[in-house]
Amino acid sequence: MSKRDDGPSGRPVPSGRLSRLGQFGRLAGGVAGGMLAEGARRMADGQRPRMRDMLLTPGNLLRVADRLSHLRGAAMKLGQMISLDAGDALPAELSEIMARLRADADPMPPAQLERVLTSEWGREWRIRFQRFDSKPIAAASIGQVHRAVTLDGRELAVKIQYPGVRESIDADVDNVAALLRVSGLMPPGLDIAALLAEAKAQLHEETDYRREGAEMEAYRNRLADNDAFVVPTMAPDFTTDNVLAMSFVEGVPIEDMVGAPQHERDRIAALLIDLTLDELFRLRVMQTDPNFANFRYQPSTGRVVLLDFGATRTVSTATARGYRTLLAAGLAGDGEAVKRAALDAGFLGEAAVRRHEAVIGQMIELIVTEASRAGPFDFADRRMVSVIRDQAAAVASDRETWHVPPTDTLFIQRKISGMALLAARLKARVDVRSMVAAHVGAVQPRGASPVPSALGSGLEPGGRAD
């Protein structure tokens, strides 16, 4: 979650089923109106408008971002996933609009906040604190965070869930999926039932704050011997199903370090990439939400602060094995083995390889070729990503080959791609290859450079750029 500046006093969170459905109805109507206006404009200019061009206008994306921000909850969370995963695949002006979903949401108005805390802690809850700041320091998709000091002097960050979020998850996910289908962005024959079910289950887990607190404590214990990271400590006497209280940890937004010296940016990115590999292959537990607001930094200590453990997932043996095989093939420079591993793990679909074998082969060859270059991988150099993105567009345009990878892979790949995107934002240079080799047990050729693969290049399995 990111720190707030002076902002609005807040908009009430729609908590009832009918009020949230009405918000989706207004969103659909606004988007439809925007599409008609854009279509008429293009026809007047002598163009033949395409559905995608009429839909993905700055005006329509602004409508979507604003409405999802108002709804908060699962609707905004899914919008954040889409906006983050899009990365630099969207035009700059559209990326800026969608980035609104990764920024702070509108906080609850004071009266609604008071009702929530009275319900959770009782009418006399304020007497338990020396100070409770009414203005939140962060407001995100599921809850907002307030700073407080308890009577016994503990400084806490208190995350408070928006009312009605848990009860609205299933309907919100279904409504967002319906919006994608009606818009024509999703092929009608693509079966995403399993993915939607997994998304609902994941979001239900994220709204269970007692579970998140337990996951945070377990993760902190896993990193007890690692001085590079800081994980807050839960305050169980103030934690409920809808309120998570934890120690307040100082830190600046991780993105603020873009102006730091090169060696410091390199170190920050290397720490997070190595932690992701550690989660995948050693800990076998991963915090799968790569939202940049979940990572802060302490310039005075050089430590990375890790926040938000609601999306923590166990990494299955099969998933870890699939990644190990894929990365080992990349380290060996064996393009055919990379393709086989991607197919076996479900990263690629058989139809895509059969219908676009030449293009996919070129993409893999480019990645393997880049792996042979000496020196650290420069995440700031996006030329290779641009080439692969253009090649992938030819495959992605063939909707008959669209393929949904295993849900475990999708969540894990989202974290991996997010870390690559963060490294690119920091313009970091990291010896990824040696890190991967250490984790998969492979021997890297002398003088070889980092393997871009799905991690370094920002390319997701299935040929989608970050």
Furthest-apart CA atoms within the chain: distance in Å: 71
In SS3 terms, the chain reads as: CCCCCCCCCCCCCCCCHHHHHHHHHHHHHHHHHHHHHHHHHHHHCCCCCCHHHHHCCHHHHHHHHHHHHHHCHHHHHHHHHHHHHHHHHCCHHHHHHHHHHHCCCCCCCHHHHHHHHHHHHCCCHHHHEEEECCCCCEECCCEEEEEEEECCCCEEEEEEECCCHHHHHHHHHHHHHHHHHHHCCCCCCCCCHHHHHHHHHHHHHHCCHHHHHHHHHHHHHHCCCCCCEECCCECHHHCCCCEEEEECCCCEEHHHHHHCCHHHHHHHHHHHHHHHHHHHHHHCEEECCCCHHHEEEECCCCEEEECCCCCEEECCHHHHHHHHHHHHHHHHCCHHHHHHHHHHCCCCCHHHHHHCHHHHHHHHHHHHHHHCCCCCEECCCCHHHHHHHHHHHHHHCCHHHCCCCCHHHHHHHHHHHHHHHHHHHCCCEECHHHHHHHHHCCCCCCCCCCCCHHHHHCEECCCEEC
Rounded Cα distance between 290 and 81, Å, is 9
Residue 289 designated active-site: yes
User: Exactly one of 85, 266, 289, 466 is catalytic; which is it?
Assistant: 289
- Active-site amino acid positions: 289
